[in-house]
Structure 1
Amino acid sequence: MAASLFGSMASFRSPAMYCKQCHTIFLYRTKIEMYTSRCMSTIAKNKTKMDESIREFLQTSPHRKHPGLVRPKTIILPENLQKALQFVFKEYSGRELAEKSKALVNYLWSRKRPVEDSEVRRTAMAMAKQLGIQDDALEDTGELSVKESQDVKKKRKRVARELRKKMYHWKAIQYTKEMSYIYAAGRMAANYSAIYRIFHEIKKRNPDFKPKLLLDFGSGVGTTVWAANTIWENSFREIMCVDVSSDMNDFAKLLLKGGKDQGVMTFKGVFFRQYLPVSALNTFDIIVSAYTLMEMSSQKERVNAIQTLWRKTEHFLVIVENGTNEGYKIILEARDLILHGERFLKLKQKDLIKERPQEASAEIPSLEEQEQPNDVEQASLYTYQESDLPEGHVFSPCPHHLQCPRSTDGTNTPCNFEQEYESPKLLSNSPKQQKEKFSYIVFRKAKRKEDLSDSHWPRIVRPVVRKSNHIHCHICCANGQLEHAVVTASKHGKDLFYCARYARWGDRLPAYTPDDDESDSDRINDTNGGTGSDRKESKSA
């Protein structure tokens, strides 16, 4: 791009470039300064434009309150919750609690998904081949001599040692009474900030939505209950909290009672149980699974849980995980499952789909056309079925149903977001204001065309860089691409410039690109539109 627009100025001693578009000579110290020049805002192939639908809003309201702003400021725990926490932890040593909670937080942040059995077997076969061991040597036929049998056992032990060194050893966490206290001290404020932030966006974009029934899957210490009642005060008729740990449930009840065993529940209609209700008739207006799917022992278990939750959803399904690569992959897994079905998810896992279909109706190889699984792969497969899940779409954060561009941009960075929060005064050595990075997705059980008209607004997916005369916004657009928009008042108008200036990471920009006017099916069928491998971050404005 730079080669076609700029000419080299060899006569200059200092590094310089000549812009053939605006006929300006740039003197710069590094290449980064060249790419951040104001001129770059005019070379975009798809120029970002202001959404005319909010012109009327901006005539009566300031830009700092434009409807694209969905990220709240620093979040503070409710006063009743803070008092309950202080009452519960008054008997605990602050220093010891701080050390244990910090260790748990670091462990949870570095936690990975369990390794699937099929992946273990494939890795074992690859290691055996590298070590010069034949595949049949790993299988005991029962017809070997004593010496041959001993050789096979030695080879197996050697491969097993190598596996233990290289494979991640996932282990379930047992949340006992002590672990519940430690988890609350280290994670409750952070979890609350992420869930509150998501609920805040749902309410702002859907002010008429008044949920009556809520299901918190993997409720833990009851964070979702507090966040939901803070956003939708006096709205809920029933809140069902499901967690396999009875100690976690007891601790959550204790906090709702103000930290006293004989206290009165802060919110009415809150129930606790260890397992999901079996009946399909039990549905809920909004269902939340926050930091739960990572604790499941296999992909099959995660898939079954997501399918069950989606079938019980009336309006919104919220899934939240850590803002790490592993958490982001779980979010992608849920996204593929809801939009494309279980069969697609398994085909993708086996690399039978080289380019991801852009719609659930995209062509997928039939069972006869697929490669038949060998003995190694057979262990990880269960019956392929067409998805019979109810129709829905991604409400947030994605402005599209296409392939996530972050997964193919080559940066190996997750699509995550950041929220500031104020930690309670439980740990004396912890900073008062902290930031939580999380990945999330919100599904809505409705057709996308029936949703709000602003669903195509791009999402800001990285921190906004504000300069005196221009603003850098990395946005995910409705055309399924990541764009680097350099917004200036002279090129894009003052309205869009000031809207971008007040926007932050995670907010939406009230704008669109020319490609947004096309339908999803038009973009899928457009041979010049590019596929997943072509979707790399491009500079546009």
Structure 2
Amino acid sequence: MATQSYVSCVLCQRASVVRKIATIRRLSVAANPQSKPDFLKGEPHKRHPGVTHLKTLRLPEELLMAARSIIHRAQVPQLPDRARKLTNFLWSRKRATEDSTLRKKALSLEKELWEKAMEKGGADLDEQGIADRIHRRVFSELRRTFYHWTPLKYDEELGVVYMAAKLAGGYAAVRRALNEIKKRDPTFAPRSLLDFGSGLGTVAWASHACWSDTLNELVCVDSSGPMNILAERLLKGDDEHAETHIKHIYFRQFLPVSPKVQFDLVTSAFTLSEIPSAPERQEAVLTLWRKTATYLLLVENGTKEGHQMLMEARDTLLQNKDKAVYDTREASLFAPCPHEATCPKLMLASVVPCNFQQMYMPLYGHNSQSEKFSYLIMTRERRQPPEADAQVVWSRLIATPQARTRHVHCRLCCPNGHLEHLVVTTHKHGRDVYRCARNSAWGDQLPLVQHTDDQNDEETTC
């Protein structure tokens, strides 16, 4: 009993000390209001300036009804199975192997096989026969070890399959990316849009949902005639005599010729993966950048391949590889990266893609699904982080925060170019940051206060 009383007394004393320290800190903050940066700007924690995620998205009613009508009329056999197979194919798709890589591997194999043949055959060699066998062996080995990339050619039936597979998810990914621009730059009111690789027109629908009051010119470019026809049918509600739901929208099979014609917003969603070689992708990105007046948005599948293609585009624009300069304003990163250093995920031993997710409702069914995607937003106008403050740094949440009792596990990409695992608590980071962490989601930006005193020497911050 005496031991229990002694332990209870010690615990009470410790609790009293903790309460006194907390009171002193509160009084200190009250006496020095400048020590508490006002990054919330009057907003509640659940809507702090770094929040850009959206709740479960639904297709616009007009688009949903038109898509269901087109699918019902098409009567595509085994549509659910074909849509699932197409989704898996697109998700597992890799970039085409570069010709230089194939040539180097072929020469290496041929040299190795000739050396083995010379060792076995001695002087009596049927060189022509050996050469034929070696060529067949080389081609067989290349086919076995390298990914065989083939372009997708969409006819009307495959377009309907693509609609069933990707319309809702693609719309959700693009809408989530556009919402970041709308939330962080509320003064941006685009009047013109160029969508390269427009497909079913999901970008037009998503951008119309964000800026319907100001957009008065939407140019959709896709080399597939059947896809352009399907996109127009969707806009007309599957009624060829009806007016399009979105006005001033134009479909083209080629980009505008003049390099001096620019658009406020330029987009390309799930299109870089359809370009066979790295030089062609680089030229496409540079061409789109020349036509960008303010923002360029690129979206790809949230796979390792999709992420790496976006990082190639990022490097191309940041390193200013464009030789034909018509607009001298330099490119700067808007999202998702909080820095312009090399992507730290590419430097890991096993490359894990930097991707994000958006919940959405599919064309059919009542259960929500998740679309994983990677995106890149570049701008010609340098932007400050949301509600910029010298005492606050904004880092990107690259995974879902894990809320636990009195602490939150956050995995962050930080402005210093490093990945951090931060455990956010009220004691270390303050109540506001802690509440923001609990109300943030994967893909949001998290504010972290930079302390200059000695109270948090043991704290790890970005």
TM-score normalised by structure 2 residue count:
0.84
Q: Say whether residues 1:106 and 2:43 are aligned partners.
A: no
Question: Once the 2 structures are TM-superposed, how far is the Cα of residue 94 of structure 1 from its aligned partner?
Answer: 8.0
In structure 2, do the counterparts of structure 1 residues 259 and 415 end up closer, same or farther at CA, with 3 Å as the change threshold? same
Partners of 2:265 and 2:296 within 8 A in 1: yes
Deviations 1:15-35 (A, max 9, x none): xxxxxxxxxxxxxxxxxxxxx
Aligned to 1:234: 213
Partners of 1:128 and 1:135 within 8 A in 2: no
In structure 2, do the counterparts of structure 1 residues 88 and 149 end up closer, same or farther at CA, with 3 Å as the change threshold? same
Aligned to 2:26: none
1:55-454 superposed matches below 5 A: 55=39, 57=41, 60-93=42-75, 96-129=78-111, 131-134=112-115, 147-342=126-321, 390-425=329-364, 432-447=367-382, 453=388
How far, CA to CA, are the matches of 1:51 and 1:80 in structure 2? 51
Structure 1: 4+ residue segments shifted above 4 A: 50-53, 92-95, 134-137, 385-390, 448-452, 512-515, 538-541
1:450-529 superposed matches below 5 A: 453=388, 456-511=393-448
How far, CA to CA, are the matches of 1:481 and 1:84 in structure 2? 46
How big is the alpha-carbon RMSD for the aligned residues of Structure 1 and Structure 2? 2.8
How far, CA to CA, are the matches of 1:174 and 1:93 in structure 2? 20
Partners of 2:359 and 2:368 within 8 A in 1: yes
Question: Which of 2, 16, 38 pairs up with 1:54?
Answer: 38
Question: Which amino acid letter does the alignment assign opposite residue 126 of structure 1?
Answer: S
Question: Once the 2 structures are TM-superposed, how far is the Cα of residue 154 of structure 1 from its aligned partner?
Answer: 1.6
Question: Which amino acid letter does the alignment assign opposite residue 264 of structure 1?
Answer: E
Question: Which amino acid letter does the alignment assign opposite residue 172 of structure 2?
Answer: S
Deviations 1:472-509 (A, max 9, x none): 00011111011111001112111110000001100000
In structure 2, do the counterparts of structure 1 residues 107 and 394 end up closer, same or farther at CA, with 3 Å as the change threshold? same
How far, CA to CA, are the matches of 1:136 and 1:295 in structure 2? 41
Question: Once the 2 structures are TM-superposed, how far is the Cα of residue 124 of structure 1 from its aligned partner?
Answer: 1.9
Partners of 2:290 and 2:325 within 8 A in 1: no
Q: Structure 1: which 5+ residue stretches go unaligned?
A: 1-49, 138-144, 344-384, 516-537
Aligned to 1:27: none
Partners of 1:214 and 1:239 within 8 A in 2: yes
- Three-state SS of the structure 2 residue aligned to 1:336 is helix
In structure 2, do the counterparts of structure 1 residues 171 and 485 end up closer, same or farther at CA, with 3 Å as the change threshold? same
Partners of 1:484 and 1:539 within 8 A in 2: no
Question: Which amino acid letter does the alignment assign opposite residue 165 of structure 2?
Answer: G
- Three-state SS of the structure 1 residue aligned to 2:38 is helix
How far, CA to CA, are the matches of 1:438 and 1:292 in structure 2? 13
Question: Once the 2 structures are TM-superposed, how far is the Cα of residue 386 of structure 1 from its aligned partner?
Answer: 10
Moved more, 455-464 or 294-303: 455-464
In structure 2, do the counterparts of structure 1 residues 390 and 208 end up closer, same or farther at CA, with 3 Å as the change threshold? closer
In structure 2, do the counterparts of structure 1 residues 56 and 292 end up closer, same or farther at CA, with 3 Å as the change threshold? closer
Moved more, 210-219 or 78-87: 78-87
In structure 2, do the counterparts of structure 1 residues 149 and 314 end up closer, same or farther at CA, with 3 Å as the change threshold? same
In structure 2, do the counterparts of structure 1 residues 243 and 52 end up closer, same or farther at CA, with 3 Å as the change threshold? farther
In structure 2, do the counterparts of structure 1 residues 452 and 284 end up closer, same or farther at CA, with 3 Å as the change threshold? farther
Question: Which amino acid letter does the alignment assign opposite residue 312 of structure 2?
Answer: E
Partners of 1:392 and 1:448 within 8 A in 2: no
How far, CA to CA, are the matches of 2:401 and 2:436 in structure 1? 12
How far, CA to CA, are the matches of 1:387 and 1:312 in structure 2? 11
* Number of residue equivalences: 415
Question: Which amino acid letter does the alignment assign opposite residue 127 of structure 2?
Answer: E
Aligned to 2:24: none
In structure 2, do the counterparts of structure 1 residues 495 and 512 end up closer, same or farther at CA, with 3 Å as the change threshold? closer
Partners of 2:448 and 2:461 within 8 A in 1: no
In structure 2, do the counterparts of structure 1 residues 503 and 248 end up closer, same or farther at CA, with 3 Å as the change threshold? same
How far, CA to CA, are the matches of 2:35 and 2:209 in structure 1? 32
Question: Which amino acid letter does the alignment assign opposite residue 340 of structure 1?
Answer: Q
Aligned to 1:34: none
Question: Once the 2 structures are TM-superposed, how far is the Cα of residue 103 of structure 1 from its aligned partner?
Answer: 0.9
Deviations 1:424-462 (A, max 9, x none): 22xxxx663100111110000124579973795100001
Question: Once the 2 structures are TM-superposed, how far is the Cα of residue 123 of structure 1 from its aligned partner?
Answer: 2.0
In structure 2, do the counterparts of structure 1 residues 95 and 503 end up closer, same or farther at CA, with 3 Å as the change threshold? farther
Question: Which amino acid letter does the alignment assign opposite residue 66 of structure 2?
Answer: A
Question: Once the 2 structures are TM-superposed, how far is the Cα of residue 156 of structure 1 from its aligned partner?
Answer: 1.3
Aligned to 2:25: none
Partners of 1:239 and 1:269 within 8 A in 2: yes
In structure 2, do the counterparts of structure 1 residues 445 and 466 end up closer, same or farther at CA, with 3 Å as the change threshold? same
Question: Once the 2 structures are TM-superposed, how far is the Cα of residue 51 of structure 1 from its aligned partner?
Answer: 10
Question: Once the 2 structures are TM-superposed, how far is the Cα of residue 233 of structure 1 from its aligned partner?
Answer: 1.7
TM-score normalised by structure 1 residue count:
0.72
In structure 2, do the counterparts of structure 1 residues 199 and 109 end up closer, same or farther at CA, with 3 Å as the change threshold? same
In structure 2, do the counterparts of structure 1 residues 450 and 153 end up closer, same or farther at CA, with 3 Å as the change threshold? same
How far, CA to CA, are the matches of 2:73 and 2:146 in structure 1? 41
Question: Once the 2 structures are TM-superposed, how far is the Cα of residue 146 of structure 1 from its aligned partner?
Answer: 11
Deviations 1:269-305 (A, max 9, x none): 1000101111012110000010001001111111111
Deviations 1:378-432 (A, max 9, x none): xxxxxxx79997511110001111111111122321111111111122xxxx663
Partners of 1:212 and 1:235 within 8 A in 2: yes
How far, CA to CA, are the matches of 1:386 and 1:482 in structure 2? 36
Question: Once the 2 structures are TM-superposed, how far is the Cα of residue 149 of structure 1 from its aligned partner?
Answer: 2.9
In structure 2, do the counterparts of structure 1 residues 173 and 231 end up closer, same or farther at CA, with 3 Å as the change threshold? same
Higher relative contact order (CA 8 A, sep 6+): 1
In structure 2, do the counterparts of structure 1 residues 152 and 539 end up closer, same or farther at CA, with 3 Å as the change threshold? farther
Aligned to 2:6: none
- Three-state SS of the structure 2 residue aligned to 1:76 is coil
Partners of 1:342 and 1:386 within 8 A in 2: no
Deviations 1:190-219 (A, max 9, x none): 000010001111011111110000000000
Q: Percentage identity across aligned positions?
A: 39
